[in-house]
Amino acid sequence: MNPVYALSEDQRDCLQEIVNVAMGQAGDSLARYLETFIQLSVPKIRLVESSELVPELQKMSEGAEFISAVRQGFFTAKGNAQIRGEAIVVFGDESFHELADLLAYDGELSTQDQTELLLEVANILSSACLIGLAEQMDVELGFSPPSVIGQNITIHRVVNADRLNWSRALFVEIKYTLEQRSFNCSLLLMMPGEAIDAVTATLDLLLAD
């Protein structure tokens, strides 16, 4: 029988507050990089079955036919809390053009330019958000280097659902947009299986203080 991973209402509320602070730090980092105002969504926190992964990703991309995506793994570097997962940043189709305009690129973007932009922006968002989460949860996280999953790919290629080794994962989804611009991206933190228990145990310690 598969273990049942769950969040209580108090745990969810605590995590929501932590994510609100962390996503604000990430948004501020991106705003300073692009020198423009960043709009943030209310973060969505939910538990997702492995069979629901592709439909959830489709909802996150809001029906976009093609997207670009970057992943970065994270894990507990010290301590007993085995928090681990992936941060995945998904960009909308028009994001390259908007980023190039904001950063004053001249001429057409080469494939290499696009890759560098994806990695830079994704690293700013995911690193700032994860550092914010780690500081508030009093854990030390390590990170793998960010890597491009693909550029102008379908959402089905973001994660290979047939090769998943977990039955349920904790999803934290945050959307970032620019006012009066078509730029949009979503940051997804995905923590599968036993990592959910590690998160809930850490939240319980915070709630007990």
| Residue whose C-alpha is closest to residue 60's, from 50, 73, 69 | 69
162: confidence class by pLDDT, cuts 50, 70, 90: low
pLDDT at 128: 94
pLDDT of 172 = 94
From CA 40, how far away is CA 173, in angstroms rounded?
11
> From CA 170, how far away is CA 188, in angstroms rounded?
10
The stretch 151-169 carries a mean pLDDT of 81
Assign 157 a pLDDT band (cuts: 50, 70, 90): confident
Q: What is the pLDDT of residue 1?
A: 40
Q: How far is CA 20 from the centre of its chain?
A: 13
pLDDT of residue 52: 86
Span 36-57, average pLDDT:
89
Contact 97, 43 (CB under 8 A): no
Q: Where are the domains of the chain?
A: 9-208
pLDDT at residue 125 greater than cutoff 60: yes
59: phi then psi, degrees, rounded to nearest 5? -65, -40
Helix 194-208 vs helix 111-137: angle between axes, to the nearest 10 degrees?
A: 50
Beta strands per DSSP E along 50-139: 67-78, 84-91
The per-residue pLDDT of the chain, averaged, comes to 87
Take residue 113 and report the two structure tokens written for it.
Answer: 């330019």
The answer as to CATH 3.40.1550.10 being correct for domain 9-208 is yes
Measured distance CA(206)–CA(209) in Å, rounded: 5
Residue among 65, 38, 40 nearest 180 (CA): 38
